[in-house]
Amino acid sequence: MSVLQAILDGLLVGGVYAVISIGLTLVYGVMGIVNFAQGEFLTIGMFVAWFAWAFLGLDPVLAAPLSFGVAFAIGWIVQGQLIARVLKAPSVAQIFLTVGILIVIENGSLLLFGSQFRSVTTVYQTMSLRLGPLFISVPYLIAFAMSLACGTALWWFMQSSWFGRAMRATAQNPVAAQLVGIDTARMYKIAYALGVGLTAFGGAIILPYVTVFPSVGGQFVVLMFTVVVLGGLGSVAGAVAGGLAVGVIQSLSSLVFPIQLQNLVLFIVFILVLAIRPQGLVGASR
């Protein structure tokens, strides 16, 4: 029974890992930028949701679209003003830039909001559903459902909307895309804004069970990179598979090993997967 419980918990947590990581993989997939500042957009999303909760009385889950919007706007500006300048630069310059953005956002929020821990109180925070002997944590379940909805919406957007197809075309061949009349600069903006917006959305939906403070993104960023590399860097389906896999591995490993070694087990599996399937679980090569 405890194995089932562990798998269930792992899947619920993993769904959230997936949605916060999709943004990272999207940004890489479309424009080839490894966005080290991705975790900070999670923080931004959490802060927006916290303020919406504290001052507007909005539940963090309902505030998630607001978080998405704010991060989308910031992402649009950041891409247009900063990232666009290093698209063709050596990757070192790209790393410096995104790490620089990370530092600016982290310290900016420290300056603006101070360093205290902020958490919300909601009615469902301490509730769970019983499924026979299994417990389903309500805040985890809500976050998972929201992730699922968000992932589906993104999938529809990428597959069926004109923007989505244009974005995929840009990812495949920017020059050809431009030749057929796609404004690639605009596609990059949309991709980046969408990518960080999704992560911020994820930040808001985990707020009922995670405390927000300026460096909270750092706790998730390693997981995010593990998820996307495990799933196959640049692949949205890979991020979903990777997210679920990471959640389940973490959860199952704590049945056998001390919880301290949770991430160690994760990284061992990670290295093994990379050794056997360097292209990741869902082998989409860019």
The strand ranges marked E within the chain are 128-131, 134-137
- Binding segment for other proteins (CB under 8 A), chosen from 29-37, 78-86, 152-160, 207-215, is 207-215
Of 116, 162, 175, 276, the residue at the interface with other proteins (CB under 8 A) is 116
Among 208, 242, 250, 215, smallest CA distance to 40 is for: 215
- Binding segment for other proteins (CB under 8 A), chosen from 57-65, 122-130, 148-156, 265-273, is 122-130
Q: Is 219 in the site for other proteins (CB under 8 A)?
A: yes
Place of tokens 């109180």: 121
Among 240, 179, 191, smallest CA distance to 33 is for: 191
Q: Is 201 in the site for other proteins (CB under 8 A)?
A: no
Contact string (CB under 8 A) for other proteins, positions 138-177, x = contact: xxx-------------------------------------
Q: Is 28 in the site for other proteins (CB under 8 A)?
A: no
Residue placing its CB nearer to other proteins in the complex, 153 or 255: 255
Residue placing its CB nearer to other proteins in the complex, 27 or 210: 210
Token digits for 247?
A: 């959640």
Q: Is 9 in the site for other proteins (CB under 8 A)?
A: yes
Q: What is the spatial distance between Cα 217 and Cα 225, in angstroms, rounded to a whole number? A: 12
Residue placing its CB nearer to other proteins in the complex, 117 or 162: 117
Q: What is the spatial distance between Cα 42 and Cα 25, in angstroms, rounded to a whole number? A: 14
Amino acid at 69: G
CB 9 within 8 A of CB 248: no
The residues, ordered by sequence, that sit 6+ positions from 226 with a Cβ below 8 Å of its Cβ are 242, 246, 266, 267, 270
Q: Is 13 in the site for other proteins (CB under 8 A)?
A: yes
CB 72 within 8 A of CB 157: no
Q: Is 81 in the site for other proteins (CB under 8 A)?
A: no
Binding site for other proteins (CB under 8 A): 2, 5-6, 9, 13, 110, 114-117, 119, 121, 125-128, 135, 137-140, 209-211, 213-215, 219-220, 223, 250-251, 254-255, 258-260, 262-263
